[in-house]
Amino acid sequence: MARIRLTEILVGAFMVLGFVALFFLAMRVSNLSLATAEDGYSLTAKFDNIGSLRVRAPVTMAGVRVGRVAAIGFDQETYQAVVTLRIAEQYDQIPTDTFANIFTAGLLGEQYIGLDPGASPDMLSNGDRIEFTQSALVLEQMIGQFLLSKAEEGGK
């Protein structure tokens, strides 16, 4: 009888431990805790080239994460990428003349959007568009330019 009881206790502990691990994976390892910041507001921005920016990439201001990329689309008329940003509720003081850059973390790291606040007294609100954008630096283009300039130097 005591043996059966001990088995039951250990099995119970095992199940609890397993679910704690799942909870840890959900809340601490993955973005489920951030997904609750789903409510917030959306902004759009058009870029000539987004490089390898992905949905869910972070959106930061002064290095602080304020939101994430919610969607990436393509505008057939302007031939630009349309990026929808989801900004957390509490960051509602973003000026209308804010600059959106696509940066790369580290040399080959992931790409993210950095917002550079402007000075306008008007603030962006849901559905607004960020006018000023800076496209991603694409490594191939940089290398191509570098080689070209080297070639020109060599030609002289």
Q: For the chain, how many helices (H) and strands (E)?
A: 3, 8
Site for another protein in 92-111 (CB under 8 A): 105-110
Binder among 19, 74, 132, 146 for another protein (CB under 8 A) = 19
Q: Does 8 bind another protein (CB under 8 A)?
A: yes
- Minimum separation from the CB atom of position 152 to another protein (A): 29
Q: Tell which residue, 25, 33, 120, has the closest CA to residue 68.
A: 33
46 vs 68 by CB, closer to another protein = 68
DSSP category for residue 26: I
- Distance from CA of residue 80 to its chain's centroid? 19
Q: Does 22 bind another protein (CB under 8 A)?
A: yes
35 vs 142 by CB, closer to another protein = 35
Q: Does 10 bind another protein (CB under 8 A)?
A: yes
Write the DSSP string, 32-91.
HHHHGGG-EEEEEEEES--TT--TT-EEEETTEEEEEEEEEEEETTTTEEEEEEEEETT-
Q: Does 118 bind another protein (CB under 8 A)?
A: no
- Minimum separation from the CB atom of position 52 to another protein (A): 13
Which one of 13-21, 41-49, 85-93, 123-131 is the stretch in contact with another protein (CB under 8 A)? 13-21
- Tokens (6 digits) for 100: 């959106």
Please name every residue paired with 41 in a beta bridge, in sequence order, or none if there are none. 87
Site for another protein in 48-77 (CB under 8 A): 56-58, 65, 68
- Tokens (6 digits) for 42: 């959306």
For binding to another protein (CB under 8 A), which residues are involved? 4, 7-8, 10-11, 14-15, 17-22, 24-26, 28-35, 56-58, 65, 68, 105-110
